[in-house]
Structure 1
């Protein structure tokens, strides 16, 4: 009986040792595979991070492709905060939106966006809030912020339908005015003149542009209505005008009645 017990104990020990040895071999093989894949990564895509650059992005793809699986998305570096401060100073000195866009080489929509964000920043500073300057500078280095940009002042292309073809003789001159007559649409010069006239009749007002954000008051919250993509805005155009905003985080905001009259035309 003693011999039988000893032999059974020895068998269990051998089985346990065999199991541990197999597990250790399996873990060693996994480590070798991971080590091989890591060295292969360092020799190819990861070689960039051996000597990373500190004045721009270090994407896995190309210099302007942050998502390797989507090479068609090309990220453009943002404008620096110094550039935005220059735009703000020019506006405060009396320059119009078009003058700033023409001189700085940026579109009118971009000028308006910069001024709206700068206005909110200045208001936060006046309220005693701390602005994260260090975070801004580090993000500018990481993304390669620039201070020079060249783009059109505005996009004035009309809505078009299916392509249309018109046959002309080889020696016949065909001008934009002729194309406009065939398509029954105004020329680009006419569209630009209309837009310029609208700017003169209704000039840019920074107070009106930021009034909606400043006058928003939280009136409710629903966690079930959270979403990651959309912010919904509802406008009442009846006798009691008002604006209600459903944020992505589920908050329900209502624009202050005092600011509705100035900002309601912005959400048409």
Structure 2
């Protein structure tokens, strides 16, 4: 039975779980439905640390944005941005510089609808409904927004989304298309699930997600490094989430992080 909520886009089948709403559920958000919560519980059975991993991934996003801000980036392209929650990119960036621009990209209907609501009245941030695996369409929409000047360095964010890109979609070519669209001095922040961390739990997650709209494709850290062609990895390179430029209070176990992360500068 479908749930009727005021922020649900017309015609949305709430009986089909989505990765964006699953992530929202794991983060403790309220923009998810019974089907998403059911999938989330199965996800938690396979990976009991999933809520902590979601939190760590969100924390990496914040640190990566602030790192880029410290290095002169004032415009961001957030691929697969998901359902807005505490600590959105425009909030982080505009707190550091009110003139910072952000273009969010997602195709999930609830993510887009809720993003439109929270971005209303902010002329420096916009959501475009496009599939991040189709860079030409995404880049055209970003240009049309008027918020991204592709002659100036851009912070490209692909945080916790590429594990939904199958090998046959050629993730290397997708990343390369975004790399080629931005000038030298731009940055890429990237994180995704890896079988190098907790392989047994990762195999369980893959099985759970096979039954969803968004199957999962973990990659080794070596494979992730291969996606950074044309980028120079900044220290500390490709590491488990808690080890990427941790704050002084960090006490999280990197062996249970599930996701590896890195930031690279276009050379």
Interval of TM-score (by shorter of Structure 1 and Structure 2): under 0.3
Higher relative contact order (CA 8 A, sep 6+): 2
Point out the structure with the larger helix share: 1
The structure number with the bigger radius of gyration is 1
The TM-score with structure 1 as length reference comes to 0.24
